[in-house]
Amino acid sequence: MNVSLLDKIKKSDFTEKISLVIALAGLVTVFSVLNNNYFSVQNILNILVACSLMGFIAIGETYLIIAGQIDLSVGAIAAFAGVLASGGVRMGLHPVPAVLFAILSGGVVGAANATAINYLKIQPFIATLASMSIMRGFAYIICAGKPFAVSNSLFISFGTYRFFGVIPLPVVLLIAAFIVFGFILKRTYFGRSVYVIGGNAYAARLAGLNPVSIIYRLYIISGCLAALAGILLSARMNSGQPSAATGVEFDAVTAAVLGGTAFTGGVGTMLGTLLGMLILQGFNTGLIMLNVQIFWQNVAQGMLLVVALAFDFYRKKSTAKKVLEESLKSAP
Is the pLDDT score of 307 beyond 80? no
Task: Say which residue, 40 or 302, is predicted with more confidence.
Answer: 40
Task: For residues 304-319, give the mean pLDDT.
Answer: 73
Give per-residue pLDDT as tens, 11-57: 446 666 888 888 899 999 999 999 999 999 999 999 999 999 999 99
| pLDDT of the residue at 170 | 95
Contact 64, 70 (CB under 8 A): yes
Give per-residue pLDDT as tens, 78-125: 999 999 999 999 999 999 999 999 999 999 999 999 999 999 999 999
Express the helix, strand and coil content of the chain in percent, nearest 5 each: 75, 0, 20
Of the candidate ranges 20-29, 54-63, 311-320, the one whose mean pLDDT is the lowest = 311-320
| pLDDT of the residue at 289 | 92
Give per-residue pLDDT as tens, 232-283: 999 999 999 999 999 999 999 989 988 889 888 888 999 999 999 999 999 9
Is the pLDDT score of 76 beyond 70? yes
- Residue 312 to residue 262: CA distance in whole angstroms: 6
Least Cα distance to 98 among 48, 54, 150 occurs for 150
- Residue 136 to residue 226: CA distance in whole angstroms: 13
